[in-house]
Amino acid sequence: MRPEVICLMITSPDGSLHPSRWTRSPNGTRSDWSALYEKVHKDHDANAWMVGRVTMAEISKAGPHEPAGPHGVVRPHHFAKPDATSYAIALDPSGKLHFAGPELYGDHVVVLLGSDVPDSHLAELAADGVSYVVSGQKDMDVGAMLELLGKELGIRRILLEGGANVNGSMMAAGLVDELSLIVAPALEARKGSDRIVEFGEEGLAGKVELSLISCEPLSHGALHLRYAVQRSS
Ligand SMILES: NC(=O)c1ccc[n+]([C@@H]2O[C@H](COP(=O)([O-])OP(=O)(O)OC[C@H]3O[C@@H](n4cnc5c(N)ncnc54)[C@H](OP(=O)(O)O)[C@@H]3O)[C@@H](O)[C@H]2O)c1
């Protein structure tokens, strides 16, 4: 069974992805709202989080490097730590991401890769203690890859945490079960700025439908909005 996927984001009422560009509020500060986000992250009780390639590059910061020692390359998957208690998953179709070690924020790293990724990249990941799954087909079937992570690593709930591109593509593919938003009392309002979900020119109309699960006022003027996400019928 595919793990449950909850898209968890902090945003402003105008859907901004960048808290550093927000207006101020007498209700609270960015660090107050970030602390609320961290609490809600914990409360969701997931055992994995997942981000797109661009966001993961900002987190991992590592550059390409030669693997230490010779490494036999295994396809289609290599699980370096199948007994980890929590996982950090990245979607990286072209193998552009690099890691300094097997963990980020204490969570074991798993990279979902496209079928064309060369052996040299897999050798680097394995040498760094990172787990990976290589797609069996040209177009990545992310749903099948997540199912495999459920089966092999016991991943039961994933928090999908951006950016806009991965959130949109996962929603369009029908792979998101819930949208969970911390909405702060602030605005960005810049023309053309990033929103928390984006799906190219098409958008998501006709692809998904949201229905409200709950709306809970939090401290510091923030709201926690939860929506069930379903494919459009
Ligand atoms: N404020 C916040 O809370 C927050 C949270 C997260 C991120 N961010 C910000 O968001 C920005 C990055 O967002 P972004 O939208 O540009 O990028 P992103 O979503 O982090 O990454 C997008 C990339 O991930 C890969 N990808 C996405 N969906 C895929 C799919 N279904 N199958 C295979 N690969 C897929 C593609 O990689 P390739 O390009 O290699 O094909 C795609 O270009 C950063 O500035 C970051 O700081 C902010």
Atom of ligand 1 nearest to the CA of 55: 20
Q: Give distance in angstroms: CA of 54 to centre of ligand 1.
A: 5
- Mean pLDDT of the 93-114 span: 98
Q: Give distance in angstroms: CA of 69 to centre of ligand 1.
A: 32
> pTM for the full model?
0.97
- Mean pLDDT of the 8-33 span: 97
Beta carbon of 54 within 6 Å of any ligand 1 atom: yes
pLDDT at 67 over 90: no
Is 149 within 8 Å of 110 (Cβ atoms)? yes
Q: Give distance in angstroms: CA of 95 to centre of ligand 1.
A: 14
Beta carbon of 93 within 6 Å of any ligand 1 atom: yes
- Mean pLDDT of the 76-81 span: 97
Residues near 32 by beta carbon (within 8 Å), at least 6 away in sequence: 219, 220, 222
| Residue 35 banded pLDDT, cuts 50, 70, 90 | very high
In whole angstroms, give the CA distance from residue 223 to residue 13: 10
In whole angstroms, give the CA distance from residue 184 to residue 142: 31
| High-pLDDT (> 70) share of the chain, % | 100
pLDDT at position 4 is 98
| Residue 14 banded pLDDT, cuts 50, 70, 90 | very high
pLDDT at position 172 is 98
Which protein residue has the closest C-alpha to ligand 1 atom 9? Answer: 163
Query: What is the signed CA dihedral for 180, 185, 189, 193, rounded to 10 degrees?
Result: -30
Helices (H), the chain: 30-43, 53-60, 119-127, 142-153, 164-172
Q: Give distance in angstroms: CA of 4 to centre of ligand 1.
A: 20
| Residue 78 banded pLDDT, cuts 50, 70, 90 | very high
Beta carbon of 111 within 6 Å of any ligand 1 atom: no
Domains defined along the chain, listed by start:
1-46+164-233 (3.40.430.10), 59-155 (3.40.50)
